[in-house]
Amino acid sequence: MSDQQPLLVEIRDNIQIMTLNRPEARNAVTLEMAEAMVSALDAFDANPSLSVGIIVGAGGTFCAGMDLKGFLQGKRPTIPGRGFCGITIQPPRKPIIAAVEGYALAGGLEVVLACDLIVASREARFGLPEVKRGLAAAGGGLLRLPHRLPYHVAMECILTGDMLGAERAQSHGLVNRLTEPGGALDAAIELARAVAANGPLSLVASKRVVNESVDWGREELFERQAAITNPVFASQDAREGAAAFAEKRKPVWKAL
């Protein structure tokens, strides 16, 4: 058994970088990796000094999906209540960015779709090849992809199992920023810093409203939004943001 850690965690200022670390297997997800991801995301959400997370793959590729050897041994890399790789059912409360080099396939694409922002190399490839294996993209691919791409483009990916190039993905709005090969992580860090410069309570509340409001009735939209956003307006950080603007300085956030 290898002593290699399946997930590497690095803190840079207020950004947490999580690296899928099985490059010899194109970072295919094992149960151990999924368990490590749950621990990393819980620590990320619980740490008030962290504002943004990044998920990246080691060795020039993002993730080829589920580790099939583990699957054949009955070890599916899905955590109850948390989903594939510990993220697809319950992503973190805070914003998270996928930095994609190489392939993001099957469960790998489903991890990407669980993120809020996507940065990709021009040579990156996305796909849900489950139908080619007699399986189904049950880790969120069937649920999320038709809401991120035009219906017929999404259905082509889902029903053929063929890959979608990064440039076409960006043209349809799936990818936020394209980079040259090898530049996805640096560009993701740059984007993360732009996000992390903002109020941490504002970021969490904004993400929560966007994600939860899809299930709200029209007549209750603003009432339910207010329950989430009113505490932000009443926070110390809101006063700090206004004071910093008036005083022409950078705000010092306390997540309070």
- 157, pLDDT greater than 90: yes
Residues 189 and 206 both lie in one domain: no
Residues 41 and 141 both lie in one domain: yes
| Average pLDDT of every residue of the chain | 96
Residues 102 and 214 both lie in one domain: no
Closest-CA residue to 60 (of 29, 26, 28): 26
Active site annotation includes 247: no
Residue 254 is assigned to a structural domain of this protein: no
Query: CB neighbours of 84 closer than 8 A, spacing ≥ 6?
Result: 29, 34, 66, 77, 78, 107, 110, 111, 139, 140
| Residue 14, strand partner residues | none
Residue 172 is assigned to a structural domain of this protein: yes
CATH number of 181's domain: 3.90.226.10
Candidate list 10, 32, 123, 130, residue with the active-site label: 130
Residues 181 and 61 both lie in one domain: yes
Q: What's the domain range around 242?
A: 200-246
What 3-state DSSP class applies to 185? helix
Instruction: Say what the pLDDT of residue 2 is.
Output: 58
Q: How confident is the model at residue 162 (pLDDT cuts 50, 70, 90)?
A: very high
59 vs 26: CA distance, rounded Å: 8
Boundary of a domain, candidates 162, 180, 196:
196
Instruction: Say what the pLDDT of residue 212 is.
Output: 95
| Residue 105, strand partner residues | 127
Task: Render pLDDT for 30-81 as a digit per residue (tens, 0 to 9).
Answer: 999 999 999 999 999 999 999 999 999 999 999 999 998 877 787 889 999 9
Task: Render pLDDT for 207-245 as a digit per residue (tens, 0 to 9).
Answer: 999 999 999 999 999 999 999 999 999 999 999 999 999
Candidate list 10, 32, 110, 156, residue with the active-site label: 110
Closest-CA residue to 139 (of 225, 63, 250, 61): 63
68 vs 25: CA distance, rounded Å: 10
Active site annotation includes 110: yes
| Model pTM above 0.85 | yes
Residues 173 and 60 both lie in one domain: yes
Question: Structural domain tally of the chain?
Answer: 2
Q: What is the CA radius of gyration of the chain?
A: 19
Residues 125 and 229 both lie in one domain: no
Mean pLDDT confidence for 171-184: 98
Residues 188 and 213 both lie in one domain: no
